Structure 1
Amino acid sequence: MKELAELESRLLEQDFIPQQESCVLEQYKQTAAMYAQIENSIAVLSDLKDRKSYIYNGALGEVLDLYPKNAAKEINSIWEEDIYNRIHPDDIVARHAFELKFFHLLKKTPIRQRIHFRTHSFLRMGNSKGEYLSVLHRTFYLCNQSNGTLWLALCLYNFAPTSEPILSFEGIIQNSLTGELLKESNDTVPEIISYREKEVLNLIEQGMPSKQIAIKLAISKNTVDRHRQNIMEKLRVGNSMEAIKVAHELNII
């Protein structure tokens, strides 16, 4: 999936600094394994610096025909593709856009406060027969480097606490220290792209090529092309059509 590859590229381009904190990684690996055992969840701890993930499985992975119960594995990627392939196609797009919002929110949050924020996403995941189950997905960024770079991320997948089937994706950002919910609040969305970039994106959506956009906005074609590139980098997508889709998911346009 191109969106995922672009998001990976941007995450891994953070300014990582060398550090000897293997004890911290081991501590959080134990934490992830404990979540899987206690909550019967799939727990994925991703090391963004070393580009690895550690996956621990409770009962959910077995129900989804993904992993045996109590299994653990290490992969050389920050993305758990086996899991992503089981998420409903509509939900996976919405989930990536929502996590992008969360990433930008944390980047604007003081380092010491970041640990208090997490996402709660309600989505649909299928078993090997294509039958969808209602799942609660949570994301925590557990550890940051001293320069503010996000280092360790924990994703938890659980049976959703609802008797009604989930029909579409829903996401909530919560401050666990205060209990504040940031659901569907436009004032919590950081200004990811500039006003001019929004203008360019709106004109792209109308089907205008770069040359016409340049005439419309009284700027050079090179400037329009630069805005296009900035938009794709900021939204972590591979082309303009994907940028439009993600921008709508984030209520940017």
Structure 2
Amino acid sequence: MWARQNLSAADIDYSIWERDKLMLHQMSCLNQSCTFVVDVYKFRYAFASSNFVDLLGYDSRKIATLERQGDYLESRIHPDDQQQLQTLQIRLSQFIYSLPPEQRNDYSNIYSYRVRNTRQQYVRVISRLQVLEKDSTGKAWLILGSMDIAPNQKDSDQVDCTVLNLKNGQTFSPTLLTNPRIHLTQRELEILQLIQKGLLSKEIAYNLRISIHTVHIHRQNLLHKLGVQNSIEAINAGLELGVLS
């Protein structure tokens, strides 16, 4: 999804990547996470830690030269999970690019799926993706990924996906992403959560330090986006979408 940005070489400083690469090598000695980096401008992997070899039994030569190995990491994913991942990534792309440009790099995408290990068995892993570096215009350039063996090795053919807002800690369930036409702003989400707690507009305005007029505008936008008539229906819609718990 990041590749849609049409990055320019004039906006990228590869000395930044050399610094980051040194840091990642040092970090891989301190923890067991399998770390990798994708260069969106070059549209290829730029780095993978040796932990892929130690933890999952990946080919050490291919990991050391991952930038020339194409889709080697993807080749270890269970074929049934691969299709689900592609579908989820399309939905994520629709979600991310419906947001204002200044908010598009604020999210971490977290997946749970199966990969083939050194014993040729499939194990469930947790994989996280987020922006590591941006170009001079603010577009995502280097994407940092990490992979760990999942604590819960449940017997399931379902790929799990969670989208985490790194600015405020909120998470979005896949049910929200299945309908990319409904996207609530951060303020609208805050107000919906306060409505769920039973606060009146005056109390919401006080808590968020905004005018009651602004609260009314956000409430009307909420009702319109969710296609509902009142606060009770808005809460139910929020629960169904997974933005309320």
| TM-score, normalised by the number of residues in structure 1 | 0.59
Root-mean-square deviation (CA, aligned residues, Å) is 3.1
**For each residue in 1:208-229, what CA deviation from the matched residue of structure 2 results, as whole angstroms up to 9, or x when unmatched?**
xxxxxxxxxxxxxxxxxxxxxx
1:52 maps to which of 22, 25, 44: 44
User: Tell me, which stretches of 5 or more residues in structure 2 are unaligned?
Assistant: 183-245
Residues 216-227 of structure 1 correspond to what in structure 2 (within 5 A)?
A: none
Q: Which residue identity lines up with residue 156 of structure 1 in the other structure?
A: S
Q: Which residue does the alignment assign to 1:4?
A: none
Contact (CA 8 Å) 2:112, 2:125: kept in 1 or not? Answer: yes
In structure 2, the partner of 1:15 is 6
Note closer, same or farther for the CA distance 1:13–1:136 as it changes in structure 2 (3 Å cut): closer
Give the aligned partner of residue 134 of structure 1: 124
2:168 is aligned to 178
Tell me, in whole angstroms, the C-alpha distance in 1 between the residues paired with 2:72 and 2:100. Answer: 33
Q: Does 1:150 align with 2:140?
A: yes
Q: Does 1:38 align with 2:27?
A: no
Cα distance in 2 between the residues matched to 1:34 and 1:98: 32
2:83 maps to a residue whose letter is: V
Which residue does 1:125 correspond to in 2?
A: 115
Identity within the alignment, %: 19
User: For residue 84 of structure 2, what is the amino acid of its counterpart?
Assistant: A
Q: 1:100 to 1:123 in 2, by over 3 A?
A: same
User: Which runs of structure 2 are paired with 1:74-223 in the superposition (5 Å)?
Assistant: 74-76=66-68, 81-147=71-137, 149-162=139-152, 164-186=154-176, 189-191=179-181
Q: Is 1:29 aligned with 2:2?
A: no
What is the number of equivalent residue pairs in this alignment? 180
Larger Rg: 2
Task: Tell me: CA distance 1:156–1:166, structure 2 relative to 1, closer, same or farther (3 Å).
Answer: farther
For 2:106, the aligned partner's letter is H
**Deviation of residue 191 (structure 1)?**
4.1
**AA of the residue aligned to 2:38:** S
Distance in 1 between residues matched to 2:60 and 2:177, nearest whole Å: 43
Distance 2:177 2:125 in 1: 27
